Structure 1
């Protein structure tokens, strides 16, 4: 009799566990009360820490306005940018939203919203550097951020990359580190997002740097979500459209980019 009771109890416990796991497996971000947004907190002006240690930026303002128009709570979560897709697909975050360029490679890992901002991958050097074209990067130390769209853009032009000192770019964890090495003369140029480069130059001495005429291509920023989160994706697209129509998008844009 005891053996039979144990069997019944064990069966019930197993059924509860299976039901629980099945429920978790079917849950999407739309079923949650809180949405976690992953960002690189060094990527000014999109998302970064100000002097008070607060997370601010164009993407931060945009995201906060978007989620004011929903029933979700928004949590901002700084992440290791090199692990962004892993963080998303493992469930540690629900969005990648921080100057996240739409590329074919990334489309294999995440679902993107409509584009919300245009960008270019530009080359910045010191003003007195004898670098005016991509051909002038031959024999030079060229810096990019690891796991960035700038790195992808450079790798998409292998004939140019092959001319760099060492035949490849110098990798940095953040653009700030790359720019510091440029200022110190440890690298000769940095390839990076135009929105970041222009903002950085504006905050520093604009006469100390130059952006050369040639670039490594145009791109667009989007918000990345898990592929199964179709409901969240549709919601984000709908609210972005709404914000463009009512002028809120332009107001936030002008706060960060007017005059650039």
Structure 2
């Protein structure tokens, strides 16, 4: 993709927003509260949509609506807890961002991907370079659905991401929404015994009391071994090495304290786990 200048617009919660899309001006609304951190228009010329991501009060919100009619794609905006959701940030000549959202209406996850030119010296988005943004189903799904943005419509103000994460642990992992406290009588190792009820594997939930609206950010496969940190009812809290980690290690002084990384954490139905240590 060729380098394009970054488009920046003036946003407010109520003001109209003009997006220039391939030479034609269209009007849309800034439709979520807080600071707009990312925005774009999709590259589908037949049904042009606007995707907007805002940060407010330790949450990220994602809305998607048709530019021509204002009709919302999601009846309920996608919400992500900034302190616990899947989040990845990597920077070199490009800054790469991933944020995990959960659709309450559809009971399925949606991941926002953003790829921006990065000025490493000034720690900011560069004015020119490759701009890419898209929505995608998680990598563990067999069928990946992508919604691509037109590169010349992408707005990015990633500095708004950080203040929402005031209680987050190490960047690059996802965390349980429930406190996890490893103890001598709860830590151990377990083997995944079957694939659960879905062909993708055994879900790792964000809560020990999951419902259809509980985010699922990872899937375990039969035969995998996993570290156990805590227990709550029928669920076990697990630690998952992500982002280049090869294992999850606990020091004796970590016992009895809430776990905050570096490994990702979530909850698995103990019916699918066989404790081996």
Higher normalized helix content (fraction of residues): 1
Asked whether the two chains share a fold, i.e. TM above 0.5, the reply is no
TM class by shorter-chain length? under 0.3
After TM superposition, the score normalised by the length of structure 1 is: 0.27
After TM superposition, the score normalised by the length of structure 2 is: 0.26
Higher normalized strand content (fraction of residues): 2
Larger Rg: 1
